Structure 1
Amino acid sequence: MLTRLFSVMLLGLASVALTACGGGGGGGGGGGGSEEPPPTGDVCSEASGDEINHHALMQKNCPRLSDYNLFADAANPTTDAHGGGLRYELTTPLFTDYTSKYRFVFLPEGESATYTESEVFDFPVGTVITKTFSLPADTAHRGFENETLLETRLLIHRENGWVAIPYVWNEAHTDAVLKVAGGPIPSTLIHNGEQIEFNYRVPDTNQCLQCHQKDSRMSLIGPKARLLNMNVDYGGGPESQLQVWINTGRLIGDIPADLSSIATIPAYNDEDAGLVDGMNDEVLLDTVKGYLDINCAHCHRPGGSASTTGLRLEYDRPFAGNESAHGVCKTPTAYSGGPNSLSFDVVPGDAEQSIMHFRMSTNQPGDRMPEIGRMLVHQEGVALIEAWINRLELPSCTPSDQ
């Protein structure tokens, strides 16, 4: 492992129940903080062997990630999960400051998730999802051995609904410690040959709910058919991820026999930015809609925290006939337009005059979008949206559109 250079603000430990967390925001980078053992007889001390501490997962936010015994190596939450935990990937990931993300789903023994066409799958009580954020020293060389663990978030389906618990890795990277108040983490990485210094940020629990709410309740974002319908190598070569879920009994329900018929968000990773100019209009729009879906639609959708803005960015909402819902010639409902007093979310043919492009391109508090979940500009995401807006051939926006 590379020398760990990250430190984290000491925010204290807590065992209070969290109502929400775990969406798109950054996390701590090499913690610090005390790690006192749980009191004798505490449910957090029950982990042993290769058995997950399911009892603790369902009722208590333990002080250390290792208290749940989710992984064979307590210092490596990216592989060798206990309890039948299965690694999963998304066709296009939510951007979080160029971190790598390692996701696992743990289902209760003998139970399954139920397929839904457009929304996240229906997971049974007892489900646990882990998402580990890891910062590469250089984004050109990813992989656990080239990265520094920042945080691991647990999303747990308890009897009263979903909760999420953030754990920040200590300086020694031997364990992750519960942090509930968030905070900045001084961090450094190299991207496209440029060294970037920034404060990677752990969101507080209210900020987490802002991204993860649907109809005022905690919800998931990633585990949808359109984002899971891809090939993943589980050690024997690439195979359909959804088919693996089906074959192992992890997914049941009214699943299309032909998985290729599922509307699937196309992959768009940073290395794909060089392909944007060569995309035809149809492929470009499809890629843009997928990017907006994973990065924006959890808020900009009916029932989301930004549902009153008029932006509706779900992938399955057709663009044709819903141009205004995608921002075209739409005036913002609760935003001044930035320092240049821009008038419309999307101005066809002119990204520089479009609020969407401006807010994605800035880091200024109050202007940047997403408002939380990133401290850096996603250069490749901006390039994608810019190409789309500049290529739009629609009637020009007029004052009457306001």
Structure 2
Amino acid sequence: MRKLIWGAVLAPIFAAALSGCDAPRQQVAVYERDAVPERLSDWHIVEVIDGELTPNSGVTPYDLNTALFTDYAHKLRTVWMPAGSSAKYGDERFEYPVGTVLSKTFYYPKDSSGAVLRTDDYSKDYVEGRAGEALDLDNVRLMETRILVKRADGWQALPYVWNAEQTDATLEIAGDASRLQLVDASGDNAVFTYVVPDANQCAGCHADNHSQKAVMPLGPRARHLNRDYAYTSGVQNQLLHWQQIGYLSELPEFGAIPRNADYSDASLTLEERARAYLDINCGHCHNPSGAADTSGLMLAHNEQDRRRLGLCKPPVAAGTGSGNRLFAIVPGAPDQSILNFRVESTDPGAMMPELGRSLVHEEGTALLREWVASMPGSCS
């Protein structure tokens, strides 16, 4: 029998999230590290009720300025903290209280035939009147939900895979794989394998300090969260909202808070957009403490050295990963740049990131090509 440590429900101001649900919800539950539930529904974080995937009371959705690309999947992210506790603000990472549960549900919009769609349009994903919170299962196909829970000894990552009936998800420590056809707006389709990483692979990406090997949240940090969100109660900056509901303390003056760019915002500079894209997709490994530190290629948001960022930087080791190109970035020449070759590849021996995608992110790679092509100078 699993041992439940404790559960809690936060303030009544979240009761609106349950509108339309007849039965009262059970409390959010937190289990011992070695006694986690086999079913996602036993966490009571997000559950299927009346054809909707809906967060529990006190479970707050959030989004990122620029998100990690995962084969065009859409994502519903949530955060929950025990009653009376809050995260402590920090520019690089928050200090989350023990018991915090982060969830990320990966899903695809679908058409009337059940085909999964490649689209940036989220408008049909949600139940009418509850945009940003409750997913409409008539319009989406759920793939997986990843749970990241803060224990007394650190974070634990747990992957749950949704069943064919779309009623619940089951813990799959070894991961999973599904063959899908992704249909775009013109009717063209791409066949690919959607891969759910195993628990060790989750830990590999989320340990952005390779020597410590400690799992950490990557998305819910100040620069990624500093944006508006359309809550059912109204549009509000996420950091201010977290502070208002008691989830964030020691928030500094707003002008001092960093903010990553939205990579798709054409009103911003190429530099801002490309650096934001590289930060979220590559910076967790390509930083001075990350798993790719020996490469010498640093792609995190705060890197200022252009050589370390890749400009005219030769690879540490040549081979298939370099595409027989001489430098990470050749200014003005994306076709001669290793960085462009690797993000555009689907060869497991060359592609970057190594995990999390089977397809090329056409919009992201086009941005990086434009960025490199705009750079002046040469490596001669």
TM-score category (smaller protein): 0.7 to 0.9
Summarize the Cα distance change of 1:54–1:100 in structure 2 as closer, same or farther, 3 Å threshold. same
Residue 302 of structure 2: aligned partner? 316
Summarize the Cα distance change of 1:197–1:112 in structure 2 as closer, same or farther, 3 Å threshold. same
**Alpha-carbon contact 2:322-2:341 (below 8 Å) kept:** no
- Deviation per residue, 1:351-400 (Å, 9 max, x gap): 00101001111101111100111111000000010001001013x214xx
Equivalent positions of 1:145-294 (< 5 A) are: 145=136, 146-193=139-186, 194-213=188-207, 214=209, 215-253=212-250, 255-257=251-253, 259-269=254-264, 275=266, 283-294=269-280
Residue 397 of structure 1: aligned partner? 379
Distance in 1, Cα, partners of 2:49 & 2:361: 31
- Deviation per residue, 1:299-345 (Å, 9 max, x gap): 10122111111111111223xxx111111111122442547411111
Residue 129 of structure 2: aligned partner? none
Distance in 1, Cα, partners of 2:322 & 2:259: 37
Distance in 1, Cα, partners of 2:4 & 2:324: 53
**Alpha-carbon contact 1:113-1:250 (below 8 Å) kept:** yes
Distance in 1, Cα, partners of 2:337 & 2:155: 36
**Alpha-carbon contact 2:320-2:349 (below 8 Å) kept:** no
- Among 345, 352, 355, the alignment partner of 1:372 is 355
Residue 290 of structure 2: aligned partner? 304
Question: Post-superposition shift, 1:220?
Answer: 1.2
Summarize the Cα distance change of 1:42–1:206 in structure 2 as closer, same or farther, 3 Å threshold. closer
Distance in 2, Cα, partners of 1:249 & 1:45: 22
What amino acid sits opposite 2:196 in the alignment?
Answer: V
Which sits farther off after the overlay, 140-149 or 171-180?
140-149
Residue 38 of structure 2: aligned partner? 63
Secondary structure of 2:94's counterpart equals coil
TM-score with structure 1 setting the length: 0.79
Summarize the Cα distance change of 1:341–1:383 in structure 2 as closer, same or farther, 3 Å threshold. same
Distance in 2, Cα, partners of 1:370 & 1:51: 39
Summarize the Cα distance change of 1:101–1:188 in structure 2 as closer, same or farther, 3 Å threshold. same
Secondary structure of 2:31's counterpart equals helix
What amino acid sits opposite 1:353 in the alignment?
Answer: Q
Residue 128 of structure 1: aligned partner? 101
**Alpha-carbon contact 2:47-2:168 (below 8 Å) kept:** no
Question: Post-superposition shift, 1:75?
Answer: 7.9
- Deviation per residue, 1:62-89 (Å, 9 max, x gap): 111011222353687853323x111111
- Among 68, 89, 93, the alignment partner of 1:94 is 68
Equivalent positions of 1:79-90 (< 5 A) are: 79-82=54-57, 84-90=58-64
Q: Do residues 361 (structure 1) and 344 (structure 2) align?
A: yes
**Alpha-carbon contact 1:167-1:179 (below 8 Å) kept:** yes
- Deviation per residue, 1:212-235 (Å, 9 max, x gap): 112321111011111101111112
Which sits farther off after the overlay, 334-343 or 90-99?
334-343
- Deviation per residue, 1:251-293 (Å, 9 max, x gap): 112x222x24422111124xx5xx4xxx67xx11011111111
Distance in 2, Cα, partners of 1:74 & 1:88: 21
**Alpha-carbon contact 1:296-1:370 (below 8 Å) kept:** yes
Summarize the Cα distance change of 1:363–1:72 in structure 2 as closer, same or farther, 3 Å threshold. closer
Computed over aligned residues only, the root mean square deviation of the Cα atoms, in angstroms, reads 2.3
Percent identity, please: 38
Question: Post-superposition shift, 1:186?
Answer: 0.6
Summarize the Cα distance change of 1:377–1:75 in structure 2 as closer, same or farther, 3 Å threshold. farther
Q: Do residues 42 (structure 1) and 2 (structure 2) align?
A: yes
Distance in 2, Cα, partners of 1:76 & 1:65: 16
Q: Which has the higher contact order (CA 8 A, sep 6+)?
A: 1
TM-score with structure 2 setting the length: 0.84
Distance in 2, Cα, partners of 1:80 & 1:301: 34
Summarize the Cα distance change of 1:317–1:75 in structure 2 as closer, same or farther, 3 Å threshold. farther
Q: How many residues align?
A: 341
Summarize the Cα distance change of 1:264–1:96 in structure 2 as closer, same or farther, 3 Å threshold. same
**Alpha-carbon contact 1:78-1:132 (below 8 Å) kept:** no
Question: Post-superposition shift, 1:159?
Answer: 1.4
Distance in 1, Cα, partners of 2:145 & 2:37: 13
Which structure dedicates a bigger proportion of its chain to strand? 2
Secondary structure of 2:275's counterpart equals helix
- Deviation per residue, 1:130-149 (Å, 9 max, x gap): 00000222233541442210
**Alpha-carbon contact 2:332-2:373 (below 8 Å) kept:** yes
Distance in 2, Cα, partners of 1:360 & 1:297: 14
Distance in 1, Cα, partners of 2:326 & 2:159: 38
What amino acid sits opposite 1:184 in the alignment?
Answer: A
Secondary structure of 2:48's counterpart equals coil
Distance in 2, Cα, partners of 1:223 & 1:217: 16
